[in-house]
């Protein structure tokens, strides 16, 4: 089958096959054998020729016949092959450097029976309901329903929204808290936002109320990005019409309505004085992160939460993982204390008492979590009052519970009811297609490129369900260094052998800073990192922009990267393009239609990035096990849409497939789960062939050229970056928990082969040999301490905490955990500390940002 990739001048394979193997005469027989072998090797892998040009063309398939055809408009780019910049003969090669063939000495990998088979996708499990359930029928205000339809194009509720609304909205359940547990992408955000807006909406008709009433609802999210995302949805919801007719002053339609119900985002990054001023003005619905909220509860007297009637804890399991339990306990105490003070002041008549409203009603807490783990149960025990547990399929149960609550005599009300043990498994949406490829270590990098090319090609087919805007792909890597390395590599690699280009940065940046009050910065930080490039372009990935996201990037760059990835870049973001190889810019002259996000686990939870077609786990999660896997793949296949998840695993990790399937299927109760969540194998040759094209084993030649281009880039001044990524990856790998060590053990890795995946030619001894014991120790301690600069920042932070006299509990928890982790790792054995330095390193930095420390 012609796969559509052409070699347009000289087929490299042909060239190699006609090459004559020179014979060596004389000398010892061992020398003759060696010479013969080396000549054979040279003949197998064609010597690149400076004049040779490979014309890569992405393959396409005839939708009718399924046969591969040449696309009408070819996304093409030429790859000029030049001799490797480094000498390749053993006499010229620097000592210790190994240039091994990509396709020899790899462990054998079983070929899957049916590769790339097109299986019909299962019915979506997180889609809007197709029955006669309506938002109106569930009791939602018609104004909100109309707004959902017109602004969000949302017509019907999802299963979890039906369950949540029928549990939260009725008068009969006002005294009950709610625990929401559901699949990724099932619409949990609206499930808790809609009841809050419905509850507060009538206040708009009370002419004596304005935003000085204080904060009536607080939503807590574990990360800044998630808080910002929730805040964006909330803001859009609050732009709804306040009455059916256009004119809100239309007296004939009832009392005058005022639009004072606004939302605010409090996630740090601004001066406290600025935040205090906003709080003093009044923020009726507040979206925040825990540390900052606790800080203001403790230190901002003008922060009025005396009438707060909603508290939402989103992603509760993540809040617990990040060590926020103590912060949340402090927040609850703070809210309770201020409520008592407000009540006392009202009783004494010393405060403005706003009558005509049920201010006495207790505050309701809604807790959302993917899983009901032990720590989440504990949190629920301290925060929830007789919770109704809402699950996607449990609408009948929710209604029955609500009824039971009504009929219960008050004496029987049990406070702090423990949640039931979690019997349902946390599974990905059923329509998600899950695949895995077993890839020998040496082939990892080229296989990743081939896979990305294949996914991009598939999505550009006219028959695909992907959007006409192109594809979005998220690639998860093990650590920040690896993300930086791969992003720089893709942005810098040149297939023409020229010098690695420098980042091209816009010099006419608009340095006026953000006009969004929700993205304020500390003084002095303004415009600081505006020069940091955010977008990379790569000749190997036509019409595609590559972004990165990890916790060591400053907040502006992270937000700009996310905006770029989802295609809503501001003009100044767009200027921040890391120049690709010149050829990518020249040949890829059409505007990019697809985007790729390279990231750490920092992007695994809660982020709702529209139209993500595929999630590729280049590195499997080092913490969080099967749940983390499900969260990551849940960035696609959202709200009933399709999606695919790819896991790239090494030959020593093949047991992971059965292991993760077992975790997802355990205790399966319903028929869908009995059918089993399954990952389907795809052969690495198929991935390479699809990605690089050619006939027979042509893909080997092409993959080798791509690998050589990567290696050239590394040799031209990027060795340190590659080595650092390699070493950090190894350290990250070593932090897999002990119960996964039978699958992920560093001893299973052939480090020489792994080095190849970082485009390193050095043998592993050369890599590690260049790191002196002292520098290795410094690096290790530095890494676990957050590095030299980070250490001093932490000291600054601790100074500040000391000076303020009040340590942030979240910070203290994290520090304690980090110290624990450091000790465990310094002890020699890589004992899991509960927090992974490499993935939570991102979380840690993120939380530093949350607390406003740059």
Distance, CA of 664 to CA of 766 (rounded, Å): 41
For residue 761, state whether it binds ligand ATP (rule: CB under 6 A).
no
Nearer to ligand ATP, 181 or 494 (CB): 181
Nearer to ligand ATP, 595 or 728 (CB): 595
Spatial CB neighbours of 552, under 8 Å, sequence gap ≥ 6: 480, 841, 842, 845
For residue 189, state whether it binds ligand ATP (rule: CB under 6 A).
yes
User: Residue 849: CA atoms inside 13 Å, Cβ hemisphere, count?
Assistant: 25
For residue 604, state whether it binds ligand ATP (rule: CB under 6 A).
no
Stretch that binds ligand ATP, among 294-302, 631-639, 687-695, 840-848 (CB under 6 A): 631-639
Q: Provide the minimum distance between the beta carbon of 443 and ligand ATP in the complex, in angstroms, as a whole number.
A: 32
Q: Strand, helix or coil at 364?
A: strand
Within 169-188, which residues bind ligand ATP (CB under 6 A)? Answer: 182, 184-188
For residue 624, state whether it binds ligand ATP (rule: CB under 6 A).
no
Tell me the C-alpha to C-alpha distance, in Å, between residue 851 and each of 643, 657, 781.
35, 39, 24
Tell me the C-alpha to C-alpha distance, in Å, between residue 671 and each of 393, 430, 665, 674, 677.
13, 12, 11, 5, 11
Nearer to ligand ATP, 127 or 598 (CB): 127
For residue 430, state whether it binds ligand ATP (rule: CB under 6 A).
no
Convert residues 110-149 into a mask of x (bound to ligand ATP by CB under 6 A) and - (unbound). ------------------x---------------------
Spatial CB neighbours of 543, under 8 Å, sequence gap ≥ 6: 75, 470, 588, 590, 591, 592, 593, 594
Q: Provide the minimum distance between the beta carbon of 160 and ligand ATP in the complex, in angstroms, as a whole number.
A: 7
Stretch that binds ligand ATP, among 150-158, 493-501, 519-527, 744-752 (CB under 6 A): 150-158
Spatial CB neighbours of 245, under 8 Å, sequence gap ≥ 6: 253
The residue from 52, 84, 133, 161 that contacts ligand ATP (CB under 6 A) is 161
Q: Provide the minimum distance between the beta carbon of 332 and ligand ATP in the complex, in angstroms, as a whole number.
A: 23
Stretch that binds ligand ATP, among 152-160, 438-446, 522-530, 657-665 (CB under 6 A): 152-160
DSSP 252: G
Nearer to ligand ATP, 157 or 786 (CB): 157
Distance, CA of 550 to CA of 565 (rounded, Å): 14
Q: Provide the minimum distance between the beta carbon of 675 and ligand ATP in the complex, in angstroms, as a whole number.
A: 23
Nearer to ligand ATP, 189 or 556 (CB): 189
Length of the chain: 854
Nearer to ligand ATP, 43 or 639 (CB): 639
Q: Strand, helix or coil at 76?
A: strand
Q: Strand, helix or coil at 77?
A: strand
Stretch that binds ligand ATP, among 18-26, 38-46, 153-161, 238-246 (CB under 6 A): 153-161
The residue from 608, 686, 808, 815 that contacts ligand ATP (CB under 6 A) is 608
Nearer to ligand ATP, 35 or 639 (CB): 639
Distance, CA of 23 to CA of 519 (rounded, Å): 70
Q: Which residue from 619, 594, 585 is spatially nearest to 492, judged by alpha carbons?
A: 585
Taking the CA atoms of 332, 334, 336 and 342 in sequence, report the sign of the dihedral they define: negative
Distance, CA of 829 to CA of 826 (rounded, Å): 8
For residue 157, state whether it binds ligand ATP (rule: CB under 6 A).
yes
Q: Number of residues in contact with ligand ATP, rule: CB under 6 A? A: 19
Q: What is the DSSP code string of 257-280? A: ------EEEE-SSS-HHHHHHHHH
For residue 628, state whether it binds ligand ATP (rule: CB under 6 A).
no
Q: Which residue from 600, 485, 544, 484 is spatially nearest to 225, judged by alpha carbons?
A: 600
Stretch that binds ligand ATP, among 157-165, 488-496, 693-701, 804-812 (CB under 6 A): 157-165
For residue 472, state whether it binds ligand ATP (rule: CB under 6 A).
no
The side-by-side arrangement of strands in the sheet containing 285-288 is: 263-266, 285-288, 217-220, 310-313, 364-368, 178-181, 388-391
Convert residues 34-63 into a mask of x (bound to ligand ATP by CB under 6 A) and - (unbound). ------------------------------
The residue from 52, 115, 125, 158 that contacts ligand ATP (CB under 6 A) is 158
User: How far is C-alpha 121 from the geometric centre of its chain's CA atoms?
Assistant: 24
Three-state SS string over 181-238 comes to: ECCCCCCHHHHHHHHHHHHHHHHHHCCCCCHHHCCCEEEECCCHHHHHHHHHHHHHHC
Stretch that binds ligand ATP, among 359-367, 591-599, 633-641, 672-680 (CB under 6 A): 633-641
Nearer to ligand ATP, 157 or 683 (CB): 157
Q: Provide the minimum distance between the beta carbon of 13 and ligand ATP in the complex, in angstroms, as a whole number.
A: 46
Q: Which residue from 729, 738, 740, 742 is spatially nearest to 829, judged by alpha carbons?
A: 738
The residue from 585, 639, 746, 801 that contacts ligand ATP (CB under 6 A) is 639
Q: Provide the minimum distance between the beta carbon of 183 and ligand ATP in the complex, in angstroms, as a whole number.
A: 7
For residue 634, state whether it binds ligand ATP (rule: CB under 6 A).
yes
DSSP percent split of the chain into helix, strand, coil, nearest 5: 45, 10, 45
How far apart are the two ends of the chain, measured CA to CA in Å?
55
Q: Provide the minimum distance between the beta carbon of 396 and ligand ATP in the complex, in angstroms, as a whole number.
A: 20
Q: Provide the minimum distance between the beta carbon of 636 and ligand ATP in the complex, in angstroms, as a whole number.
A: 10
- Answer for the pair 548, 491: CB distance below 8 angstroms, yes or no: no
Distance, CA of 830 to CA of 823 (rounded, Å): 10
Nearer to ligand ATP, 229 or 704 (CB): 229
Nearer to ligand ATP, 161 or 223 (CB): 161
Q: Phi/psi of residue 60, each to 5°?
A: -140, 160
Distance, CA of 161 to CA of 168 (rounded, Å): 10
- Answer for the pair 155, 149: CB distance below 8 angstroms, yes or no: yes
For residue 428, state whether it binds ligand ATP (rule: CB under 6 A).
no
Q: Provide the minimum distance between the beta carbon of 156 and ligand ATP in the complex, in angstroms, as a whole number.
A: 6
The residue from 278, 296, 339, 638 that contacts ligand ATP (CB under 6 A) is 638
Within 801-830, which residues bind ligand ATP (CB under 6 A)? Answer: none
Q: Provide the minimum distance between the beta carbon of 804 and ligand ATP in the complex, in angstroms, as a whole number.
A: 34
For residue 621, state whether it binds ligand ATP (rule: CB under 6 A).
no
Nearer to ligand ATP, 154 or 701 (CB): 154
Q: Provide the minimum distance between the beta carbon of 838 and ligand ATP in the complex, in angstroms, as a whole number.
A: 22
Spatial CB neighbours of 390, under 8 Å, sequence gap ≥ 6: 160, 163, 164, 167, 178, 179, 180, 181, 182, 191, 398
Binding site for ligand ATP (CB under 6 A): 128, 154, 156-158, 161, 182, 184-190, 606, 608, 634, 638-639
């Amino acid at each position: 089958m012609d796969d559509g990739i052409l070699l347009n001048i000289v087929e490299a394979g042909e060239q190699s096959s006609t090459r004559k193997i020179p014979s060596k005469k004389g000398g010892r027989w061992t020398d003759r054998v060696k010479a013969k072998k080396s000549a054979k090797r040279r003949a197998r892998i064609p010597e690149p020729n400076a004049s040779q040009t490979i014309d890569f063309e992405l393959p396409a398939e005839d939708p009718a016949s399924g046969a591969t055809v040449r696309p009408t408009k070819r996304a093409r780019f030429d790859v000029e092959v030049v001799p490797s910049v480094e000498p390749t003969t053993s006499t010229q090669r620097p000592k210790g450097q190994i240039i091994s063939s990509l396709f020899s000495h790899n462990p054998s990998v079983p070929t899957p029976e049916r590769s790339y088979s097109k299986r019909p996708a299962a019915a979506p499990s997180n889609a809007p309901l197709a029955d006669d359930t309506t938002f109106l029928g569930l009791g939602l205000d018609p104004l909100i329903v109309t707004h959902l339809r017109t602004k969000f194009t949302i017509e019907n509720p999802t299963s979890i929204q039906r369950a949540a609304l029928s549990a939260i909205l009725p008068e009969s359940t006002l005294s009950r808290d709610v625990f929401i547990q559901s699949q990724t992408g099932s619409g949990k955000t609206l499930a808790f936002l809609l009841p809050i807006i419905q509850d507060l909406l009538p206040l708009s008709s009370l002419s004596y109320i304005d935003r000085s009433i204080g904060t009536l609802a607080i939503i807590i999210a574990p990360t800044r990005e998630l808080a910002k995302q929730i805040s964006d949805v909330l803001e859009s919801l609050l732009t709804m019409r306040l009455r059916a007719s256009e004119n809100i002053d239309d007296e004939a339609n009832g009392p005058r309505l005022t639009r004072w119900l606004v939302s605010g985002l409090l996630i740090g990054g601004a001066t406290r004085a600025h935040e205090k001023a906003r709080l003093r003005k009044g923020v009726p619905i507040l979206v925040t992160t825990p540390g900052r909220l606790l800080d203001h509860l403790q230190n901002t007297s003008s922060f009025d939460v005396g009438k707060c009637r909603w508290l939402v804890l989103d992603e509760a399991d993540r809040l617990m993982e990040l060590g926020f339990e103590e912060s949340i306990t402090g927040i609850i105490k703070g809210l309770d204390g201020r409520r008592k003070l407000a009540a006392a002041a009202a009783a004494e008549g010393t405060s403005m008492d706003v009558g005509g409203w049920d201010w006495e009603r207790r505050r309701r807490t809604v807790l959302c979590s993917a899983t009901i783990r032990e720590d989440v149960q504990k949190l629920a025990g301290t925060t929830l009052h007789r919770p109704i547990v809402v699950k996607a399929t449990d609408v009948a149960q929710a209604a029955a519970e609500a009824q039971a609550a009504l009929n219960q005599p008050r004496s029987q009300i049990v406070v702090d009811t423990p949640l039931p043990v979690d019997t349902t498994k946390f599974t990905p949406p059923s329509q998600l297609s899950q695949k895995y490829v077993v890839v020998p270590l040496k082939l990892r990098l080229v296989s990743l490129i081939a896979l990305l090319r294949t996914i991009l090609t598939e999505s550009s087919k006219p028959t695909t369900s992907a959007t006409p805007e192109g594809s979005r792909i998220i690639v998860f890597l093990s650590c920040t260094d690896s993300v930086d390395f791969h992003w720089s590599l893709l942005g810098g690699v040149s297939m023409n052998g020229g010098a690695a280009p420098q980042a091209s940065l816009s010099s006419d940046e608009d340095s006026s800073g953000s006009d969004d009050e929700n993205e304020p910065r500390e003084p002095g930080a303004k415009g600081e990192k505006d020069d940091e490039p955010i977008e990379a372009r790569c000749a190997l990935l036509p019409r595609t922009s590559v972004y990165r996201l990890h916790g060591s990037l400053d907040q502006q760059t992270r937000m700009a990267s996310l905006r770029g990835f989802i295609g809503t870049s501001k003009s100044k973001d767009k200027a921040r393009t890391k120049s690709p190889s010149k050829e990518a810019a020249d040949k890829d002259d059409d505007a990019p239609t697809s985007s790729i996000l390279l990231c750490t686990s920092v992007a695994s939870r809660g982020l709702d990035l529209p139209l993500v077609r595929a999630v590729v786990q280049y590195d499997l999660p080092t913490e969080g096990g099967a749940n983390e896997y499900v969260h990551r793949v849940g960035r696609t296949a959202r709200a009933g849409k399709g999606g695919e998840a790819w896991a790239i695993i090494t030959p020593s990790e093949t047991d992971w497939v059965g292991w993760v399937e077992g975790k997802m299927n355990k205790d399966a109760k319903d028929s869908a789960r009995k059918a089993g969540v399954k990952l389907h194998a795809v052969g690495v040759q198929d991935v390479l062939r699809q990605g690089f094209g050619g006939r027979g084993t042509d893909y080997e030649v092409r993959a080798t050229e791509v690998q050589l281009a990567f290696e050239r880039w590394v040799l031209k001044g990027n060795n340190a970056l590659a080595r650092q990524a390699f070493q950090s990856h190894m350290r990250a790998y070593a932090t897999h928990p002990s119960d996964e060590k039978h699958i992920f053990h560093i001893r299973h890795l052939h480090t020489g082969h792994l080095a190849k995946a970082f485009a390193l030619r050095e043998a592993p001894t050369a890599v590690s040999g260049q790191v002196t014991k002292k520098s290795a120790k410094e690096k290790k301690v530095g890494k676990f301490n957050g590095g030299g600069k980070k250490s001093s920042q932490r000291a600054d932070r601790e100074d500040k905490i000391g000076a303020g006299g009040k340590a942030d509990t979240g910070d203290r928890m994290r520090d304690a955990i980090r110290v624990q982790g450091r000790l465990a790792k310094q002890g020699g054995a890589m004992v899991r500390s509960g927090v992974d330095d490499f993935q939570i390193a991102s979380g840690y930095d993120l939380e530093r940002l949350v607390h406003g420390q740059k």
